[in-house]
Amino acid sequence: MEDWKEYKYTELASLIGGGTPKTTEASYWNGNIPWLSVKDFCGNSKYVYKTEKHITELGLRKSSTKLLHRGDIIISARGTVGEIAMLPYDMAFNQSCFGIRANVNVINNHYLYYLTKTKVRELQNSSHGSVFDTITKDTFENINCYIPNINEQIKIAAILSSFDDKIELNRRINGNLEQQAQALFKAWFVDFEPFKDGKFVDSELGRIPEGWKVGRFNNIIESTLSGDWGKERQEGNYIKKVFCLRGADIPDVKTGNKGYMPIRFILEKNFATKALTAGNLVIEISGGSPTQSTGRICRISHELLTKYNNSIVCTNFCKAIRPMVGYSSFMYYMWEKLYNEGVMFSYENGTTGIKNLDINGLTQKEPIIIPPIEVALNFEKYVDIYYNKIQKNGIESELLSHLRDTLLPRLMSGELNVNTITE
């Protein structure tokens, strides 16, 4: 490390503040410029590709928001401090984040991204605020960094980026696979393409193949499993160690990962009736937002259950469902279809700001088309090809993420000589 040099973080990069166009001015919104807020960050993904909101050129000019460019970095600075991403194209952003632009004469922008990731804990420890944790530009002034020459920076960044690139490729593949699975569902159960040569009959949901029926989710549910939260540590009879699946973990579980499921300890006697098994569906029944309803769903896979040492239960803010044999995949994609159509909004209640899903009302009242068991089983056979591939890609991505995070501090500190890896 003899050729490594010490810099203040602010010598390596410029910090750019964001802002929000006036929300009551319609001409500032729904334009072509992505406008990024903390909620748009993609968890462990290196890049953030889309934003919930967009602004116009006028909104950009008439507000304190700034336009970040491709390759710039963004970090959350208020509330959840330290979420970090690199931009694949130009985006504006709000005041809860800082844009970070590399001083390219001193540091490679990809290297700066990984360097910043190693400094997140320092930034979090230096945050302050009576209501929300906050970091300021002054916070970065107190961060010191040792970095190698540009050529070595590029080598280090290339190694770490190779993991993130593969993770991103898996993410895109999984997105395509999910689209194909949903397209297959639509072809079979909306357009009835494989059954068009057969007889059709009238129903309350329109014409359906003969032998099918209109029913409710309850008609294909074998049983429901209640959630549990248990204790943070072993206490008395709370000795059964489990992962507890929350609503926030559902997006990760859908791709074969456990996300940040906490370890809890529950009563042994409760485990038999609450443990999740392959094919179970877990539904978020509390939470949501004005633009996102409750009712997010994931399907428990055999791969997920066998990958980890602990069993899994869901939290009390979710509901686990065991569909009838053969109907797990059908129910999962039918539920996803209704969720994407916004149907769950009409089954929400709650007056305290937290929305709750009336899952009993939904499963008892919402009409759905139900195919014969042989059709459902045949669909499951085909769609599980996509589903299982998604799960395997997700598991691979989690492994790659672990390897990257293991190498990251060693490479960025000089403990591991990059030349011994690349030669």
Condensed to tens digits (0 to 9), the pLDDT of residues 310-366 reads 899 999 999 999 999 999 999 999 999 999 999 999 999 865 567 899 999 999 999
Count the domains in the chain.
2
- Reference 285, options 329, 244, 247; nearest CA is 247
Q: Give alpha helix (H) positions in 249-323.
A: 250-253, 268-274, 302-307
Residue 311 located in a structural domain: yes
DSSP 259: T
Of 334, 357, 372, which marks where a domain is finished? 372
Residue 193 located in a structural domain: yes
DSSP 225: E
Whole-number mean pLDDT of the chain?
92
DSSP 235: B
Of 125, 147, 169, which marks where a domain is finished? 147
Same domain, 85 and 226: no
Domain CATH for 125: 3.90.220.20
Angle at 144 (CA atoms; ends 140, 150), nearest 5 degrees: 105
Whether the per-residue pLDDT at 295 is higher than 60: the answer is: yes
Confidence of residue 208 (pLDDT cuts 50, 70, 90): very high
Output the pLDDT for position 423: 55
Same domain, 221 and 129: no
When pLDDT is averaged across residues 249-264 and rounded to a whole number, the result is 89
Whether the per-residue pLDDT at 197 is higher than 80: the answer is: yes
d(CA 253, CA 225): 18
**Tokens read off for 182:** 């949903």
Is residue 55 classed exposed, middle or buried when 0-12, 13-18 and 19+ CB atoms within 10 A define those classes?
Answer: buried
Per-residue pLDDT tens digits for 210-222: 999 999 999 999 9
Half-sphere exposure of 222 (CA within 13 A, CB side): 10
Residue 418 located in a structural domain: no
Output the pLDDT for position 126: 81
Residue 387 located in a structural domain: no
Percent of residues, the chain, with pLDDT higher than 70:
97
Same domain, 91 and 216: no
Same domain, 109 and 230: no
Tokens 């008609």, located at residue = 219
Percent of residues, the chain, with pLDDT higher than 90:
79
Output the pLDDT for position 352: 58
**Tokens read off for 363:** 């499963």
Per-residue pLDDT tens digits for 40-54: 887 778 999 999 999
Whether the per-residue pLDDT at 1 is higher than 80: the answer is: no
31 to 54, 168, 228: CA distances (angstroms): 5, 27, 45
The domain of 107 spans 5-147
d(CA 410, CA 416): 5
Output the pLDDT for position 422: 59
Phi, psi of 127 (to 5 degrees): -70, 160
Same domain, 306 and 212: yes
Q: How far does the chain reach from its first CA to its final CA, in angstroms?
A: 18
Residue 169 located in a structural domain: no
Tokens 């206490």, located at residue = 235
Is residue 96 classed exposed, middle or buried when 0-12, 13-18 and 19+ CB atoms within 10 A define those classes?
Answer: buried
Confidence of residue 125 (pLDDT cuts 50, 70, 90): confident
399 to 84, 172, 358: CA distances (angstroms): 20, 17, 37
Lowest mean pLDDT across 155-164, 215-224, 389-398: 389-398
Lowest mean pLDDT across 47-51, 94-98, 187-191, 286-290: 286-290
Residues with Cβ within 8 Å of 178's Cβ and at least 6 positions away in sequence, in order, are 386, 390
**Tokens read off for 95:** 């005041």
When pLDDT is averaged across residues 114-143 and rounded to a whole number, the result is 85
Half-sphere exposure of 77 (CA within 13 A, CB side): 22
- In the three-class reduction of DSSP (H, G, I as helix; E, B as strand; rest coil), residue 323 is classed as strand
Same domain, 125 and 235: no
When pLDDT is averaged across residues 390-398 and rounded to a whole number, the result is 91
**Tokens read off for 61:** 């000019």
Same domain, 138 and 194: no
Same domain, 114 and 210: no
Please state the length of the chain.
423
Same domain, 123 and 257: no
Q: How many CB atoms lie within 10 A of CB 354?
A: 11
Same domain, 213 and 354: yes
* Per-residue exposure over 285-310, b if at least 16 CB sit within 10 Å of its own CB, e if not: bbbbeeebbbbbbbbbbebbbeeeee
Pairing mode, strands 13-17 and 97-102: antiparallel
Please state the pTM of the whole predicted model. Answer: 0.85
d(CA 375, CA 193): 13
Query: DSSP per residue over 94-159, as a string?
Result: -TTEEEEEE-TTT--HHHHHHHHHHTHHHHHHT-B-SSS-B--HHHHHT-EEEE--HHHHHHHHHH
Contact indicator for 346, 249 with CB cutoff of 8 Å:
no
Pairing mode, strands 29-36 and 144-147: unpaired
Output the pLDDT for position 308: 79
Confidence of residue 100 (pLDDT cuts 50, 70, 90): very high
d(CA 111, CA 121): 18
Output the pLDDT for position 353: 65
Output the pLDDT for position 131: 58
